[in-house]
Amino acid sequence: MRERDRDRPETPWHVVVAVEDVPATGAHMTLVPDAEMRLAIARMAVLRELSRLEADFDLLPHGGGGLRVTGRVSATVGQNCVVTLEPLMSEIEEDIDLVYMPAASATATDGEAAAAPKWDDPEPLIGGVVDLGALAAEFLVLGIDPYPRKPGAVFAPPRDQKPEAGPFAALAGLMKDRNGR
């Protein structure tokens, strides 16, 4: 397990596709979870509700035993406004374009450490399968606004009518009485 994966919650939605099952001409899949699964995904994503989730994928074999996955995740999510705490609904649309390739050998040559992955490296294809349900849930989470705000909602800090005297105000008063000033 990679270091960054330890803190990430496990997705409850799994739709596994084996690379060998994808025809050479490609395949199209539309995934729509039922209400119970949407509730589980909403809990994982810390949403008030997830009233709609749909994922459309186009799968195409990629040279060397890999798989190219393109598509879109769209959803309607319920959150609370960070300013007013009122419920609000948001639409999410996230495009997907990933290439999965068989995982390279973990051991490097000549005793050197394996190079750190780069942002444009292919995703590792482990066990010859891709979990489209987990992929859809991950892109849903990426599209969620972490600070949702109702239109026109503006935070205004409360105004103090009288500035706070502070913890040493009583001491200042005692010193004034003692010195007669």
Residue-level pLDDT at 46: 93
Residue 51 CA to residue 71 CA, distance in Å, equals 20
Residue-level pLDDT at 111: 47
Residue 15 CA to residue 135 CA, distance in Å, equals 9
58-108: per-residue pLDDT in tens? Answer: 999 998 899 999 999 999 999 999 999 999 999 999 999 999 999 764 334
Using CA atoms of 7, 54, 130, 22 in order, give the dihedral in degrees to the nearest 10: 180
Residue-level pLDDT at 155: 82
Question: C-alpha distances in angstroms, 28 versus 57, 68, 71, 126, 135?
Answer: 6, 12, 9, 21, 15
Residue-level pLDDT at 152: 86
Pair of tokens at residue 64:
């060397």
Name the 3-class secondary structure at 120: coil
16-60: per-residue pLDDT in tens? Answer: 999 999 999 999 999 999 999 999 999 999 999 999 999 999 999
Any idea what DSSP says for residue 126? B
Pair of tokens at residue 91:
């639409």
Confidence check: pLDDT of 1 > 60:
no
Residue 148 CA to residue 86 CA, distance in Å, equals 10
Helices (H), 52-131: none
Residue-level pLDDT at 135: 96
4-22: per-residue pLDDT in tens? Answer: 445 556 889 999 999 999 9
Which of these ranges, 39-43, 90-94, 167-171, 177-181, has the smallest mean pLDDT? Answer: 177-181
Domain range enclosing 65: 3-179
Residue-level pLDDT at 100: 96
121-163: per-residue pLDDT in tens? Answer: 899 999 999 999 999 999 999 999 999 999 888 888 877 677 6
Count of structural domains, the chain: 1
